[in-house]
Amino acid sequence: MSLFGPLLPADVVLEEGTPEAFGDDLAQLTAAEAAAMERAVSKRRREYTAGRVLARRAAGRMGLGSVEILAGPDRAPRWPPGVVGSITHTRGHVAVALARSDRRRGLGLDVEQAAALKPRLWDAICAPEDVEMLGGYPPALRGELAKVVFSAKEAAYKAQYAVTQQYLGFAAMHIELSPTPEGNVGEFVATFRQTAGSHFRIGDRVVGRWRRVGPLLATAVALD
């Protein structure tokens, strides 16, 4: 089952899997990748390994050969020249998307457990506009849609980071959702509430898509 497939345009190369299926054997990594995981716990080794193996598969499909994907001190993956990409993982799912940088400025994927956002986190995640938007939905739906807001911000953050290399807190954007009547799939618009580098101004908008399938929530942004 492809979780992210319906959320991404056709030029984006997608690989997905289950992190638990990859195991934590560092032999699946290059020497430098494995060195970065030397002191990591088993769960972290599995998710990192799954991301790297899937990224190599995606790069292979793009004709890039066997690439090594190290991370900078900011933990963002360093993609080969000419490529943008994104990695995400949670219990039960891992996904990697790659695209050519002459076609896309950035990609952002996020997968989360779909369960409602804990009320104590609302203040940290939601801007005033988010709270107002969520208030337009029935109270029983608001917690789960607040989780969509959280995930949409992470996906939009990752996509913009490829362009700006700038850290942004959760107040930097607000999210509008357009769920279908079933409430399990839709678009979102992330609007910048502050500038980000010299590329995004207050009021600039980034469009993404979201989808819930069983226990999982996926959000994706593919910047033109």
Ligand X SMILES: CC(C)(COP(=O)(O)OP(=O)(O)OC[C@H]1O[C@@H](n2cnc3c(N)ncnc32)[C@H](O)[C@@H]1OP(=O)(O)O)[C@@H](O)C(=O)NCCC(=O)NCCS
Interface with ligand X, residue 183, by CB under 6 A: no
- Beta strand 205-213 pairing with 185-192: antiparallel
Q: Judged by CB under 6 A, which stretch of 17-25, 75-83, 97-105, 114-122 contacts ligand X?
A: 75-83
- Taking residues 46 to 65 in sequence order and writing x for each that binds ligand X by CB under 6 A, - otherwise, the string is -xx--x--------------
Angle at 154 between CA 153 and CA 157, to 5 degrees: 80
Q: Which one, 5 or 139, has the nearer CB to ligand X? A: 5
Tokens of 178: 């357009």
Minimal distance, residue 192 CB to ligand X, in Å: 9
Distance (Å, rounded) from C-alpha 222 to C-alpha 99? Answer: 9
Interface with ligand X, residue 26, by CB under 6 A: no
Minimal distance, residue 55 CB to ligand X, in Å: 9
Q: What stretches of the chain adopt beta strand conformation (E)?
A: 13-17, 83-90, 93-100, 106-113, 173-179, 185-192, 205-213, 216-223
Q: Which one, 46 or 138, has the nearer CB to ligand X? A: 46
Minimal distance, residue 181 CB to ligand X, in Å: 27
Interface with ligand X, residue 76, by CB under 6 A: yes
Q: Judged by CB under 6 A, which stretch of 12-20, 113-121, 157-165, 207-215 contacts ligand X?
A: 157-165
Distance (Å, rounded) from C-alpha 172 to C-alpha 153? Answer: 9
Tokens of 86: 């994104």
Q: Among residues 4, 22, 79, 157, which is the contact residue for ligand X, using CB under 6 A?
A: 157
3-state secondary structure 23-50: CCCHHHCCHHHHHHCCCCCHHHHHHHHH
Interface with ligand X, residue 89, by CB under 6 A: yes
Minimal distance, residue 77 CB to ligand X, in Å: 4
- Contact indicator for 159, 106 with CB cutoff of 8 Å: yes
Distance (Å, rounded) from C-alpha 110 to C-alpha 197? Answer: 22
Minimal distance, residue 160 CB to ligand X, in Å: 8
Interface with ligand X, residue 77, by CB under 6 A: yes
Minimal distance, residue 112 CB to ligand X, in Å: 7
Q: Where are the alpha helices (DSSP H) in 31-138?
A: 31-36, 42-61, 122-125, 128-134
Q: Which one, 8 or 138, has the nearer CB to ligand X? A: 8
Binding site for ligand X (CB under 6 A): 47-48, 51, 71, 74-77, 87-89, 110, 153-154, 157-158, 161, 168-170, 172-173
